[in-house]
Amino acid sequence: MTHDPKSPVGHNRESRLFYQSRSRRPLIERSEGVYMWDVDGKRYIDASSGAMVSNIGHSDPRVIAAMTKQLEKASFAYRLHFENDAAEDLAIRLADRAPGDLERVFFVSGGSEAVESCIKLARQYALAKGQAQRTKIISRFPSYHGATLGALAITGYTPMHAPFAPMMVDQPKIPAPTCYLDRDDLSDHDRGIKYANMLEAEIIKQGPETVLGFIMEPVGGAATGALVAPDSYYGRIREICDQYGILLIYDEVMTGAGRTGKYFAAEHWGIVPDILAVSKGLAAGYAPLGAMIAPDRIVGPVLDHGGFIHGYTYAGNPLACAAGNGVLDVIEEDNLLENASTNGAALKDELTKMADDFAMIGDVRGKGLLLAIELVKDRDSMEPIDPKHMAAARLVDIAYDMGLIIYWRRTRGGYRGDHVMVCPPMTITKEQFADILVPLRKALSELQDELEV
Ligand code: PLP
């Protein structure tokens, strides 16, 4: 069939695209700030910033102007032929904002590529130091670090592994600090230490001389529902990595670029990781962009030992980096870190209040505007809802029909329980909260009715 570009648009538009399933969503017409409109004129509030990407809201004219200016100057300059100012500037700005000695920036086009780069750098650093036996990266279960085979191997999500298991080297995992489920008498501090010490036990089990590094999301993403560990966890993890000479890799693909109220979440605990991955909010959806940031003490030996054997065609893409610079300008001009912090806390309070009316809200957690609610059978038991109901996915669908976008997550298999992410752009105002909270309350009531049937 030949495609007629004038064929009817809308929900039934002919398509040759495919993603994960046969399900289809309406066509987007336009977006502005925290709102999006489909071609039928229906308005949605983007209370998940897409997939926690659109941190500065949609269609900001300042970013569009920065990108247009770059396009008019040079649309593409391949890194083996030319340097470009947009990438150089953004690298300097990221190095200035990154924790401690993280000062060398390697650009990529997304989160999986950023994590993949961290794995490759860690390995090549070990080789440069003559430690070829170091091949393992310990990670947490549950966790999400990306879809490419390397990033998938360190991802703690079993169903995504299944088809590829014979093609992949599975990497060791320790439990993520899901302290909110623990029913012991430990203090928060001791519980944090208990979970962190699981890393030490795993390193010893694997043989410290075989381990390259440990990777963690400082605040969990969709895999754990914005999981925040007790403060003591972060320092103890750093200590263990130092003690065994193991690289600490922070996956800030979701938490980086301001979402938790600091430019990098590591700052909340004063931690300097050895390597850091950032993506989503970096160009905030205006262009595909990610970065690995590492210190010269790691990059230098790799560059001197045969070079970094890794890279992508779109590395340091001028248009994507111009978007990144434009996004950073907006974050700073509009004081969006402060907004993520204060309005994030205010939104979390509202969600916590909502839990008074719904026993199925087991927990409300997160930091800044990286927030999630966990759905359970009832809060007292914290028993999970029977996975056959796919409760989180169902809530997301009910809300979507009402024009409220919250983040989808598959329930069945791999993870315990149901949670949905509530993560509007960092530009959200308190006046706009009602556009999230009113439909969310209605959607929760509908879900509750359905589950009781
Ligand atoms: N790491 C984390 C923490 C993520 O949340 C994601 C995506 O959700 C990724 C890595 C992979 O990023 P991408 O989907 O851009 O490849």
Pairing of strands 43-46, 247-252: unpaired
Instruction: Write the residue with the smallest CA distance to atom 15 of ligand 1.
Output: 111
From the CA of 55, how far away is ligand 1's center (Å)?
Answer: 15
The structure tokens 């979507």 sit at 400
Eight-class DSSP state of 372: E
Taking the model in full, what pTM does it have? 0.96
Q: Is the sign of the CA dihedral 17, 18, 22, 26 positive or negative?
A: negative
Dist. CA 259 → ligand 1 center (Å): 14
Residue 113 CA: nearest ligand 1 atom is 16
Query: Which residue's alpha carbon is nearest to atom 12 within ligand 1?
Result: 111
User: Using a CB cutoff of 8 Å and minimum separation of 24, what contacts does 447-450 make?
Assistant: 447/360, 447/375, 447/391, 447/394, 447/395, 447/398, 448/358, 448/360, 450/389, 450/394
CB of residue 112 inside a 6 A radius of ligand 1: yes
**Within a 10 A sphere around the Cβ of 437, how many other Cβ atoms?**
18
- Ligand 1 atom closest to residue 279's alpha carbon, by position in its atom list: 15
The DSSP call for residue 384 is: P
Distance of CA 307 to the CA centre of its chain: 29
pLDDT tens, position by position, 310-339 = 999 999 999 999 999 999 999 999 999 999
What atom in ligand 1 is closest to the CA of residue 110? 15
**pLDDT, tens digit, 9 for 90 and up, residues 148-193:** 999 999 999 877 888 998 999 889 999 999 998 898 899 999 999 9
Distance CA 277, CA 253 (A): 6
Q: Whose CA is nearest to atom 13 of ligand 1?
A: 111
Q: Which domains does the chain have, with CATH numbers?
A: 28-56+335-452 (3.90.1150.10), 63-333 (3.40.640.10)
| 8 A C-beta contact, residue 322 and residue 70 | yes
Instruction: Kindly give the distance from the C-alpha atom of residue 144 to the centroid of ligand 1, in angstroms, as a whole number.
Output: 7
CB atoms within 10 A of CB 366: 25
Q: To 10 degrees, the CA torsion angle through 125, 126, 132, 135?
A: -100
CA 139 to ligand 1 center in whole angstroms: 15
Kindly state the tokens that stand for 339.
């907004």
Strand-pair partners of 37: 30, 43
Interface predicted TM-score (ipTM): 0.99
Task: Report the residue among 264, 275, 280 best suited for mutation to probe ligand 1: largest number of ligand atoms under 8 A from its CB.
Answer: 280
Check if 48 has its Cβ closer than 6 Å to any atom of ligand 1: no
Query: How far is ligand 1, taken at its centre, from the CA of residue 254, in Å?
Result: 7
Pick the atom of ligand 1 nearest to 115's CA. Answer: 10
What's the mean pLDDT when you consider all of the chain?
94
Centre of ligand 1 to C-alpha 233, Å, is 23
Q: Yes or no: say if 440 and 80 are a contact pair by the CB < 8 Å rule.
A: no
Quote the ligand 1 centre to 112 CA distance (angstroms): 6
CA of 288 to the centre of ligand 1 (A): 12
Q: Which atom of ligand 1 is nearest to the CA of 252?
A: 3
In a 10 Å sphere around its CB, with 0-12 CB exposed, 13-18 middle and 19+ buried, how is residue 237 labelled?
buried
Token pair in block for residue 387: 């996975």
Strand 370-375 and strand 418-422: the pairing is antiparallel
268 lines ligand 1 (CB under 6 A): no
Instruction: Determine which helix (DSSP H) or strand (DSSP E) holds 261, and give its type and residue range.
Output: none
Residue pLDDT tens, the chain, 453 long: 444 544 445 556 788 888 887 778 899 999 999 999 999 999 999 999 999 999 999 999 999 999 999 999 999 999 999 999 999 999 999 999 999 999 999 999 999 999 999 999 999 999 999 999 999 999 999 999 999 999 999 999 877 888 998 999 889 999 999 998 898 899 999 999 999 999 999 999 999 999 999 999 999 998 899 999 999 999 999 999 999 999 999 999 999 999 999 999 999 999 999 999 999 999 999 999 999 999 999 999 999 999 999 999 999 999 999 999 999 999 999 999 999 999 999 999 999 999 999 999 999 999 999 999 999 999 998 898 988 888 999 999 999 999 999 997 665 455 667 999 999 999 999 999 999 999 999 999 999 999 986
> What are the phi and psi torsion angles at 292 (to 5°)?
-110, 135
Compute the distance between CA of residue 401 and CA of residue 390 in angstroms, rounded to an integer: 17
Distance of CA 282 from the midpoint of ligand 1 (Å): 12
Mark residue 284 as left, alpha or beta (left: phi above 0; alpha: psi -120 to 50; beta: remaining).
Answer: left
By C-alpha distance, which of 442, 416, 445 is closest to 176? 416
CA 146 to ligand 1: nearest atom: 11
Distances (CA, A) of 356 to 149, 229, 349, 363, 439: 43, 24, 11, 11, 17
d(CA 344, CA 361): 18
253 lines ligand 1 (CB under 6 A): yes
Per-residue pLDDT, 23:
79
Is the CB of residue 221 below 6 angstroms from any atom belonging to ligand 1?
yes
Interacting residues of 69 by C-beta distance below 8 A, sequence separation 6+ = 322
